[in-house]
Structure 1
Amino acid sequence: MNKRSMRAFAFGIFLTASVIGAGYYDQGGQQNSMTVDAAKSQLEKAGYVILSESEFNHLKGKINIEEKEHPSPTNSVQETTKR
């Protein structure tokens, strides 16, 4: 390769990287354009249930209480094998 073709090759790589970089940064601002309410609405339409953190912790506490009152047979087997 002579000097001229090497420069043309380097310029091509530089131009390609610039175009890809511009496209990458241009799309970055559009990804976070969804609001919280819009996200909740979209998830509910898809069949998901949305809980606040306090509701989740309340249900988690109920499950822990029920597991302590009525342990399942698989839990007791796992506890004996851990010893």
Structure 2
Amino acid sequence: MNKRNTRAFAFGILIAVIAFGTAYFLNKPGQTPNRTIDESSAKKFLQANSYTVLTNEEYTLLQQTDAKDQNENKEVKEEEPAEENTEQEEESQKVYQLTIESGMTPGEIASLLEKASVIDQAADFGNYMEEYGYSKKIQLGTFELNHNMSYKEIAKIITKS
């Protein structure tokens, strides 16, 4: 192949790339120029995708009935016996303040939590912290914990993650 043929071939490729590039950038598939959305087509689209369509009147009526239901629930809650208040007081009494200081190991933290009856087994909690990578992210500070929390919840609180 001589120089002249090579130049002609390269020029042909250049022209083809320009033609394809122009067609690619000027032709936008899926867009129609006169596309308009009216109320009925929007409503059909929303209902087809499992949405509920309400008018303003229906919406205000729904809000009013919801407010009435909430007022009725408040009245029922006020009539409940004082027995539940004692249960809530017991729950609030079992909150433990954990203070993590510089130099504390995950094992020491776990043993403090076990002594305070926040967790059942210090070894299990220590293993959980190591296994899921929380032991390297422990933050210094004071944290409120209770005995109803899972290992994951406790770990997220003391690592602030």
With normalisation by structure 1, the TM-score equals 0.47
Higher relative contact order (CA 8 A, sep 6+): 2
Q: Which has the larger radius of gyration?
A: 2
Compare the two structures and name the one with the higher helix fraction: 1
With normalisation by structure 2, the TM-score equals 0.25
